[in-house]
């Protein structure tokens, strides 16, 4: 539940920030009639991503227990870790330019008189967040399934996702409608660090799958705590999802997990400490300038 809550909370805040920038620009330009074009693009992106995620999940489960499933899950783990790392670093580096970039692209769409352009802009911006969310969610589901997760556990994952979206929408409404300010920069920094620890667990899971396929050497098992804290137990699965815990990891799995954590977090905090100019105009430095309610 916690991993899906965190990823949907983070992506929900980022997506709502993007939509708010577009709507704020249209509001200042006196073009509120184009709000529906933005919402159409957002809706289309959400429908497409949801349909694609469900289709991918069902397709993989047709090959349950087969080598094809192991290969697909390993690929998903690797892709999710790469995408998560990229999007976290990208947000830290480009946060201050998101607003101006989206406004320039909106202005070009408006100048061209193309209503479709605004819809496509919203579709592209929100769709990117949706793809990231779908990939990472699939990886979480696959990781849980590989540990013998029950139907009830899957429901908890869905509940966590729904709760993350609900909290994200509540925060967006609080910020953009009531005009309150929160330090979104710090918010993304904290959640980014947490999600990178999640990603380390996915790297370890990918290593395990590749070892099962025979593509990586099996190596020695460092410890076996299955009798004390099994990964298939509720607490064990929680630690597996949060920290990448394994009850009988190989040396290579532990090395992969530790290497990712050290390199990714060191790079992330290095980028976070870099001086940034124009923080006042950054959408992650507080409420958006010109957003409804401000």
Q: How far apart are CA 177 and CA 23, in angstroms?
A: 12
> What's residue 60's pLDDT?
74
Question: Is residue 61 pLDDT above 90, yes or no?
Answer: no
Percentage of the chain lying above the pLDDT 70 cut:
81
- The arithmetic mean of pLDDT across residues 32-48, rounded, is 86
- The arithmetic mean of pLDDT across residues 197-202, rounded, is 87
Secondary structure class of 277 (helix, strand, coil): coil
> What's residue 216's pLDDT?
93
Question: Is residue 52 pLDDT above 80, yes or no?
Answer: yes
Domain ranges of the chain: 2-281
> What does the pLDDT look like over 108-132, one tens digit per residue?
777 655 567 778 888 887 888 888 8
57 vs 145, higher pLDDT: 57
Of 175, 81, 168, 166, the C-alpha closest to 132 is: 81
When mean pLDDT is compared across 98-107, 157-166, 170-179, 266-275, the lowest value belongs to 170-179
Q: How far apart are CA 29 and CA 102, in angstroms?
A: 14
Tell me the DSSP string of 123-187: HHHHHHHHHHHHHHHHHHHHHHHHTT--HHHHHHHHHHHHHHHHHHHHHHHHHHTT-----HHHH
> What's residue 96's pLDDT?
66
Percentage of the chain lying above the pLDDT 90 cut:
13
Tell me the pTM: 0.74
> What's residue 151's pLDDT?
53
* Cβ neighbours of 123 (radius 10 Å): 21
What is the Cα 166 distance to its own chain's centre? 15
> What does the pLDDT look like over 212-267, one tens digit per residue?
999 999 889 999 998 888 887 878 877 887 778 889 999 999 999 999 999 998 88
Of 255, 261, 209, the C-alpha closest to 60 is: 209
pLDDT band at 288 (very low <50, low <70, confident <90, very high): very low
Of 171, 180, 258, the C-alpha closest to 222 is: 258
> What's residue 290's pLDDT?
38
Long-range pairs, 233-242, Cβ under 8 A, ≥24: 234/153, 236/147, 237/144, 237/147, 237/149, 237/153, 238/2, 240/143, 240/147, 240/201, 241/2, 241/3, 241/140, 241/143, 241/144, 241/198, 241/201, 242/2, 242/3, 242/197, 242/198, 242/201
Contacts for 214 with CB less than 8 Å, ≥ 6 apart: none
* Cβ neighbours of 181 (radius 10 Å): 11
> What's residue 154's pLDDT?
64
């Amino acid at each position: 539940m916690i991993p899906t809550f965190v990823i949907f909370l983070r992506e929900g805040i980022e997506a709502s920030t993007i939509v708010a920038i577009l709507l704020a620009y249209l509001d200042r330009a006196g073009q509120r009639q184009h709000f529906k074009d933005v919402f159409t693009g957002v809706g289309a992106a959400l429908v497409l991503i949801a349909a694609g995620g469900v289709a991918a999940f069902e397709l993989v489960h047709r090959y349950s227990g087969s080598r094809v499933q192991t290969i697909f899950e390993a690929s998903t783990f690797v892709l999710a870790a790469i995408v998560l790392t990229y999007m976290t670093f990208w947000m830290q580096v480009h946060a201050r330019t998101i607003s101006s970039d989206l406004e320039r692209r909106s202005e070009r769409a408006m100048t061209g008189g193309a209503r479709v352009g605004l819809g496509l802009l919203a579709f592209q911006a929100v769709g990117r967040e949706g793809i990231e969310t779908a990939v990472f969610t699939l990886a979480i589901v696959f990781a849980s399934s590989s540990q013998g997760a029950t139907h009830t556990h899957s429901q908890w994952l869905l509940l966590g996702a729904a709760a993350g979206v609900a909290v994200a929408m509540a925060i967006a409404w609080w910020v953009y409608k009531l005009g309150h300010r929160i330090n979104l920069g710090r918010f993304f920094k904290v959640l980014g660090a947490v999600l990178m620890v999640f990603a380390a667990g996915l790297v370890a899971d990918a290593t395990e799958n590749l070892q099962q396929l025979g593509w990586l050497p099996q190596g020695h098992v460092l410890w076996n705590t299955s009798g004390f804290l099994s990964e298939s137990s509720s607490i064990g699965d929680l630690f597996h999802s949060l920290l990448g815990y394994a009850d009988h990891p190989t040396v290579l799995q532990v090395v992969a997990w530790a290497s990712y954590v050290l390199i990714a977090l060191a790079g992330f905090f290095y980028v976070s400490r870099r001086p940034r100019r124009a923080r006042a105009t950054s959408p992650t430095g507080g409420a958006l300038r010109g957003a409804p309610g401000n």
